[in-house]
Structure 1
Amino acid sequence: MFPSSTWTIYASKTWDLSWLLSSTTARISFPWPFFFGNFGRSWWSVAFEELLQKLQAQEWYRGQIVRILTLPPKPAKFSEPQKPLHPKVRAFLEKKGIRLFTHQAEAVDRILAGENVFIATPTASGKTLAFNLPVLSTLLFEEDATALYLYPLKALTQDQLVKLKELEAELGPVFRPEIYDGDTPAQARSRIRAQVRILLTNPYALHQYLPWHHKWERFLRNLRFVVIDEAHHYRGVFGSHVALLLRRLRRILERYGADPQFILASATIANPEEHGEKLIGKEVFVVKEDGAPRGERTFVFWNPFLDLKHSWTDQVSLLLAFLVGEGLQTLCFATSRRLAEVLAAFVQPKVPGKRIMAYRAGYLPEERRAIERGIRTGEIAGVVSTNALELGIDIGGLDAVIIGGYPGTVISVWQQAGRAGRGAKPALVFVVGQGDPLDQYFLRHPEELLTRPQEHAIINPQNESILLRQLLCAASEFPLNAKDLELFGARPEMVQTLEESGLVAKTPVGLVYSGIAAPV
C-alpha cells in the first residue's frame, strides 16, 4: 500500500463512482477550482467533480474508471548560486525576474567549480536553464571557448537551438549556436566549422564526423563543455555504443590539448552516479534534490475492457475528444506510429472547429516544428504522439495527458505524465490500459505504478562485440597506443583478435585500421 499522507484515493475498486458524486462522507478534498489552461490562452475553471459528472453522463461511459489517485502539490524552493555568473547573465536573470530553484543553483555552483555534473531531476524542473547559465557565462568570460551539446533526437536539437538563440538575443551575438548533422546544407558546413562556438548535434552525426577531426581543430582545441541531454536515453546497446563514442571523443580532445567538463541531464533514474560514470568514463557529482514546484496531479486509471461495446481505439478517441471538447488541451501517447495516425483521424470529426494532429518520427523537420509551434500557441487542441514527445521538446504545459498503454518503463510513465501541468499548474493524467497482463496488473494495483522507483539505466561499455567495433573506429581516426587501449578498457585478447582479423596493422606508432571499407 501507499502512505495516505502522499496519495488520496478518490474511487474504490467497485468501478461505481456514483457515491463519489453524492456521498457526504466520501473522502473528497478539492480546495481549488481545478484550473486548466496555459498562460496566454483561455483559462478553464472546471471543477474536477463536474468534469467527472460530465464524463459519467456520456452515452459511451460504462464505468471504466477503476481508481483515481492524486499527488499533492509541492512548493518551490529557491536559492542563489555562490559562484559568480557573468554580469550579463546576472542582468538577464534580474530583467526576466528569474529566481533559481535549489537544484539549479547547486548545479550552477558545481559546474562553475569545474566538476562533471549529472542533473537528475523530474520533467519540467528547469534542467536546461541549470546547465545553460554556467556554460554561457563561461563563454562570455572566455571569448575562444566552445561547447558541444549532444541530443538523442533531431527534433529536440532544433528545439534547443531556438532556446539558445533566444538567450543569445538577450546576452549578445557572441555564442553563434549552430546545428551540424545530416540535414545541414553542404554549403553551410565550412562556415559553421570556422565560426561555431556552441555546436548542437547527435551521437549518430558525431560518430560520422570524428574521423574528420582535423577539420574541427579550432573548435576541439577550445572545447570547455560537453553537454549530454536526456542521458537516461542512452542505455542498453545504444547507450554502450555512446559511452565508447564519448571515449573516442575524449581521446581526440586529448590530442588537441582539451579536457572539457561533462554535464549530463536526465529524467530521474535509479542510478544516476553509476550511469553517468559509465557513460563518460569519469567521476560525476549528482544533483537530484528537486526544488521546482509541482501542481496537484490527478491520475485517473481507465480499464477499457469493462466496456465490451467499444474497442480500445474507440474509447481512447472518445476520451480525447471529450477532454478537448471541455477545453482541455490534451496530449495522448500511443504505442506505435500507425496508432497515432489512426487515433488522430478518429478524433478530428468528433470535435469540429478544433485541430487534432498526429506527431511521430518520420515527418519532415518543418512539419514537426509547425506542430510543436501549434501546441505551444494553443492552435492545436489535441495531439496524438508516439514517444517522440516524451523527451524534452518544448511544447509548453498542457492541461491533460492520456497514457495509451504502459510505455514499458516507470521512467517513461513519469516523462509522459510530466507533459501536463508544468510548474505549479494542476494536471490531469488518464492511464488507459491495454490488454496485456502488465497493463492489467497496474490497473488493479495503480498505487504500485506510481510509487515504485524508476529503473536503472544499464550500459556495458566492456561488451566485447561493441568494444571491438568501436576500437576499429578509433584506429581509423588515428593509431591506437597502449594508453588508448587502457582508456577503452580493452583486454589483451581483444587486441589479439583485432590483429588476427587483419583489420588492424601493428606499426611503430600503434594499431592502424587496415580494412578496405570504413568501419561502422
Structure 2
Amino acid sequence: MEGGGRGLSDLLRKVVESKGGRLIYLYREAEGEPELGPGISGLPLPDKLKSALEAEGIHRLYRFQQEAIDEIEAGRDLVIVAGTGTGKTEAFLLPLVARVLRQRGNRFLLVYPTKALARDQARRLSPLIASVGLRYSVLDGDTPASERRGIYEDPPPFIITNPDMIHIGLAESKEFRELVSEVNAAVFDEMHVYQGVLGSHVKWVIYRLSQVADEVQLIGAGATIGNPGELGAKLFSRDSVRVVTGPRRRRGEAIHAFVDYGRFSRWSFAAYLIAALASEGLKVLGFTDSQQMAELVARLARKSYNARVEVHRAGLPVEHRRRVERELAEGSLKAVVATSTLELGIDIGDLDAVVMASLPKSFNSYVQRAGRAGRRGRPGLVVTLLGDDPIEAYYASRPEEFFSREPDPGYIEPNNPEVAKLHLVALALQRGVLRRGSLPKELEASVAWAEQRGLLKARGDLLAPEWRSAREFISSVGLRSAGPMVKIVLNNKVIGEREMPMALYDLHPGALYYHAGAPLLSSKLDLQSMRAYMVKLSESVSFYTKPLYSIDILEMNVEESRLYGSVSAAYGDVHVRVSVTGYVVKDELSGATTSEVEYEEPITWDYWTKGVALKYPLLDFDTLEASLSAYHALEHVLISASRPVAGASDTDLSGVSYPTGHIVIYDSHVGGNGASRLVYERLTKIQDVAKVIVSSCTCEDGCPRCVFSPYCGNNNKFLSRHGALRVLSQLTSLKSESLDIEEIKRSHRLKAA
C-alpha cells in the first residue's frame, strides 16, 4: 500500500495491538475513473444546461449517466444502481432539468427516505437547478403553512419530499392531490432503503400516487441492490423496469480491516478504537445495529477514555441529531456512534475512518457504511470487529469471499396485511369512495377488518370512509412500522417509543435502557396501555441486560410448499406467541453474565407474521435432550447462514425448533418483512453455508462462533454443533418426511402443559 493508505494501516495496527487486539485481514480497495461517455457539447441537451455544466468544469459525462439519460428521455421506468458519490444524482437530474427547459409546465417529485435527507439533498441540488433559472421547493411536515400555500398556488418544477408526506398528503389534502396529479415523473432516491416493512409501505404509497398521477414515470436510484429490476418492479407495481448500472463505489482508495478484539467485549473495544483514532486526529464514525448498543459504546468511550463521543440514532430529538450532524461536518466533533441513521447520504463532511462494532446486518449495509470514509480524494479507513458470531467466524477464515460478494437482493413483503390495512383506509380517504371489485387483492383482504373497526362503511360494492375514525387511524400509524408502538414514560412524560415485538425485548421489567446517554431502568411494561415506565439510574452503572423468552407457534396457514431433497418446506402466515420469562444481567466490559432473574409470571404477546416451516428427517438421537439440542442448534445456524445468502438480517428473522425435527423461521416484524420468503426460496444454499459453519468450528460441541446466538431466548442452552452437523451431513441419504403443521401445534401444547 502506498502513501496515505500505508499510513492509515500502520496507525491502525499500532492502536489495535496496544490494547491486545489483532489485525485479521487488510484489504485495499481502489476505484479508478468510471467509463467515460460523450462530451457535453455533443449531447441533445438545451444550450443553457450545457453552459451551466461547463461552467462547473463538467465537459464529459460518464457512460452510465448517458445511458440513464437516454432511458429517462424515452419515458421508461428505470432503476439506476451506482455507488455513493459516483454521479447517480446527475444521471436522473439532468434529463429532468432538460425536460423543463424544453417545455415549461413539467413537474417532478424528488423523493428521499427522510425529511433530514431530503433537506440535505436540496442544498446539494439547488446550485444546478438555480444555475439554469429554475425553482425547487421542499414540501414536508416542517414546511410552514404560508410556504405550503405558495407551492400549491404556484408550483415549482421540482418538489423535494419524502414518502411520509406523500402518504399523508394523498389521504388528507385536496391541494396536495391536485399538486401531484400533474407530476410527470417521480424519483425515489436511496431506493436500497426501501426494504422490509418500510419497502412494503412505500410500494403502496407509490401505487396510490400512480392512481392520482396516472401517467407518472417512475425512477429509482440506489447504491447497492442485488436485484434492482425485480425490486423496482415490486415497488413500482410495474411489469417491466429498465436497469442502468454504474460504478460500485466512488473514485479513490479505502483500507478495509477485520480486527479481533481479544479478551474485551466487542462494545468496550469498539469504544476504545473510536476514542483512540479520534485522539490521533481522525474524524471517526462508529456504527452499531442496535440503538442501545450505540448508547453503550458512546458511554464507554466517554467514561473509560475521556473522549467526547456523541450518539446519532432514531428516537432522539431532531435538534440533537442536527447538532451532531453540524458539529461533525464542521470538525468541532471528532467522533460519533450511530445506527443506520447516518448510513445514508446526509452531508457530515469528510470522514477519515468508519468503525463497525460488528458485521452489519447485510452486505449492502456494509458497503453503505464503508462508503462514508475517505471522500473527496482522501484515503479512508474502514474497520470491522469480528468475534464470537457464526458469520463473523465464517468470514474471518474466508475474508476474500466477503470482499468479492455481490450486493444482497432487496426484499419486501407486498402481502403484509398490517401494511395493507393502513393503505386501504388511506386510499379510501384519498378517493372518497372505493369499488370493492377494483381493489388489488392485498387491499381487498382487509375490507372486512376495516368495516369491523368502523373505518369503512359498505353500500353494496361501494366502500366509503368513516371520515373521523379513518383520519384518526391514519394519523396514529406511521410508515416505519407494522406493529403497535409502546410509549416510553419517564417522570410522567413520554420521551420515546418502541415497536412491538421489539419493545418486549428492550423494555421488559428490569431492562436497562439508554436514552440520549442516560441509563434508565424499566419498572413496568403495561401491554394494555402500551406504556413502559422508566426510572433514572446513576451514570455509574456497569451492566446491561438481555431478555429470556420462549416462542410458541400457535397456528400456520400454508400458502405454498415444496421439497428440498429430504427437507419438506412450507411458506405462509404464522401465528406467533412471545413469552418473556426473565432476563440476564451482563458486565458491560467483559460481556460475562453476572446474574439471572426469572419472573413469577411471563409477559406474553402474540401476533401474525410470515414464515417458513421446515421438517428435517428425525434421526435416532439417544435422548430427547440430544434431539432438542441438535435441531435447536440447526435453527440458529440456518438463521445465521441466511445473512450472506439472502441478505437477511438476523434481527429480521426469528425462529423456534422442536425435537421432532420441525423448525419454523419467521419474520420478526408484525405482518412480515419478506426475509423468510428468501429463506424459503434459497434453502439449499443456506444449508450449504450452515454446514460449513458447523463443520469448520473446532469447539467441543457448540460456541458463539458456530451455533450460539446473541438473540437466543433461553440464553443458548441445549445446543449441539455435532448434532446439527449430523443432520446436515445425512440430508442426501435420507427420505423426506411430511411436514405436519398439526404436529407443531401439538408440540406447543405439550410444552405449555
Aligned counterpart in structure 2 of residue 417 of structure 1, from 366, 370, 373: 370
Residue correspondence of structure 1 range 314-463 to structure 2 within 5 A: 314-347=268-301, 356-422=309-375, 424-433=377-386, 435-463=388-416
Question: Which deviates further from its counterpart, 151-160 or 316-325?
Answer: 316-325
Query: Is 2:434–2:463's contact at 8 Å kept on the other side of the alignment?
Result: yes
How much does 1:514 deviate?
4.3
Query: How far apart are 1:499 and its partner, in Å?
Result: 7.3
Question: Higher strand share goes to which structure?
Answer: 2
Please say if 1:253 is aligned against 2:223: no
SS across alignment from 1:34: helix
1:272 to 221, 224, 228: 228
Amino acid at match of 1:512: A
- 1:196-235 mapped onto 2 (5 Å cutoff): 196-197=155-156, 198-216=158-176, 218-235=178-195
Does residue 194 of structure 1 match 2:147?
no
> Equivalences for 1:55-134 in 2 at 5 Å?
55=15, 58=18, 60=19, 62-80=20-38, 84-98=44-58, 99-134=60-95
Is residue 119–residue 138 contact of structure 2 (8 Å, CA) maintained in 1?
Answer: no
CA drift at 1:130: 1.9
Q: Report the CA distance between 1:262 and its aligned residue.
A: 1.1
Contact 2:370 2:382 in 1 (8 A): yes
Equivalent AA in structure 2 for residue 227 of structure 1: V
- Displacement of 1:489 in angstroms is 4.7
Q: Aligned to 1:407, what secondary structure does the other structure show?
A: coil
Cα distance in structure 2, aligned partners of 1:324 and 1:73: 26
Structure 1, unaligned stretches of length 5 or more? Answer: 1-29, 36-45
- Name the CA shift for 1:149/1:419 in 2 (closer, same or farther; >3 Å): same
Kept in 2, the 8 Å contact 1:126–1:292? The answer is no
* Deviation, structure 1 residue 281: 1.4
Partner of 2:465: 513
What is the SS of the residue equivalent to 1:454?
A: coil
1:171 maps to a residue whose letter is V
Check the 8 A contact 2:85/2:250 in 1, yes or no: no
Relative to 1, partners in 2 of residues 1:158 and 1:351: Cα closer, same or farther, differing over 3 Å?
Answer: farther
Which structure is larger by alpha-carbon Rg, 1 or 2?
2
Distance 1:184 1:484, change over 3 A: farther
1:298 aligns with 2:252: no
**How far, CA to CA, are the matches of 1:196 and 1:374 in structure 2?**
34
Partners of 1:243 and 1:194 in 2: CA distance: 29
Whether the aligned pair in 2 keeps the contact of 1:347 and 1:356 (CA below 8 Å) is yes
How far apart, in 2, do the equivalents of 1:206 and 1:347 lie?
40
Mapped contact 1:406–1:433 kept (Cα < 8 A): yes
- State whether residues 168 and 175 of structure 1, in contact with CA within 8 Å, keep that contact through their aligned partners in structure 2: yes
CA distance in 2, matches of 1:490, 1:383: 42
Secondary structure of the residue that 2:37 maps to in structure 1?
A: coil
The gaps in structure 2 that reach 5 residues or longer are 475-753
Scaled by the length of structure 1, what TM-score is found? Answer: 0.80
* 1:473 aligned onto 2:473: no
Q: Deviations over 1:418-467 (max 9, x none)?
A: 11123654322111135443333333333333223322212232445543
Q: CA deviation at 1:280?
A: 0.9
Q: Distance in 2 between matches of 1:515 and 1:57?
A: 65
Partner amino acid, structure 2, of 1:108 = I
Counterpart code for 1:335: D
Shift of residue 286, structure 1, vs aligned partner: 0.6
Letter in structure 2 aligned against 1:237: V
RMSD: 3.1
Pick closer, same or farther for the CA change 1:293–1:437 going to 2, 3 Å.
closer
Give CA-to-partner distance per residue, 1:39-77, whole Å, 9 cap, x none. Answer: xxxxxxx6245425533663x2x2422222223433332
Report the counterpart of residue 21 of structure 1 in structure 2: none
TM-score (structure 2 length as normaliser): 0.56
Residue 133 to residue 47, structure 1, CA distance change in 2 (3 Å): same
Aligned-partner SS, 1:296: strand
**Is contact 2:256–2:381 with CA below 8 Å preserved after alignment?**
yes
- Assess, with a 3 A threshold, how the Cα gap between structure 1 residues 375 and 271 changes in structure 2: closer, same or farther: same
Q: Secondary structure at the match of 1:384?
A: strand
**Matches of 1:483 and 1:135, distance apart in 2:** 37
Aligned equivalent of 1:285, options 231, 238, 242: 242
- Larger relative contact order (CA 8 Å, sep ≥ 6): 1
Distance 1:135 1:233, change over 3 A: same
- State how 1:18-33 maps to structure 2 within 5 Å: 30=1, 32-33=2-3
CA contact under 8 A between 1:147 and 1:224: conserved in structure 2?
A: yes
Determine if contact 2:289/2:340 at 8 Å carries over to the other structure: yes
Counterpart CA distance in 2 for 1:291 and 1:342 is: 33
State the alpha-carbon separation in 1 of the partners of residues 378 and 35 from structure 2.
16
Partner of 2:116: 155
SS at match of 1:149: strand
> 2:83·2:246 contact (CA, 8 Å) conserved in 1?
no
Q: Alpha-carbon deviations, 1:141-196, whole Å to 9, x = none?
A: 33222221222222211211212333344232x32322322x33344432232234
- What amino acid is the match of 1:261? Q
SS state at 2:251 partner: coil
Q: Give the distance between the partners of 1:293 and 1:252, measured in 2 at CA.
A: 37
**Aligned match of 1:262:** 218
Residue pairs, 1:6-45, within 5 angstroms: 30=1, 32-34=2-4
Once residues 194 and 119 of structure 1 are traced to their aligned partners in structure 2, the CA distance between those partners, rounded to angstroms, is 33
Instruction: In structure 2, give the amino acid aligned to 1:177.
Output: S
Paired amino acid for 1:449: F
Partner of 2:689: none
For residues 104 and 397 of structure 1, the distance between their equivalents in structure 2, rounded to whole angstroms, comes to 25
Which of 101-110 and 491-500 deviates more?
Answer: 491-500
Letter of the aligned partner of 1:191 in structure 2?
G
- In structure 1, what residue type is equivalent to 2:434? L
1:136 equivalent in structure 2: 97
Partners in 2 of 1:122 and 1:55 — Cα distance?
30
Task: Say if 1:504 and 1:515, in contact at 8 Å, map to a contact too.
Answer: no
Q: For residue 236 of structure 1, what is the amino acid of its counterpart?
A: G
Q: 1:165 to 1:369 in 2, by over 3 A?
A: farther
* Distance in 1 (alpha carbons) for counterparts of 2:344 and 2:443: 36
Q: Deviations over 1:247-268 (max 9, x none)?
A: 11111223xxxx2211111122
Deviates more, 1:264-273 or 1:395-404: 395-404
The percentage of aligned residue pairs carrying the same residue is: 34
Task: Report the CA distance shift for 1:357/1:136 in structure 2 as closer, same or farther (over 3 A).
Answer: farther
1:95 maps to a residue whose letter is A
Question: What is the alpha-carbon distance in structure 2 between the residues aligned to residue 292 and residue 300 of structure 1?
Answer: 17
Q: Secondary structure at the match of 1:371?
A: helix
Q: Which runs of 4+ in 1 moved over 4 A?
A: 348-352, 489-502
8 Å contact 2:27–2:257 — kept in the other structure? yes
Instruction: Find the counterpart in structure 2 of residue 6 from structure 1.
Output: none
What is the distance in 2 between the residues matched to 1:48 and 1:79? 34
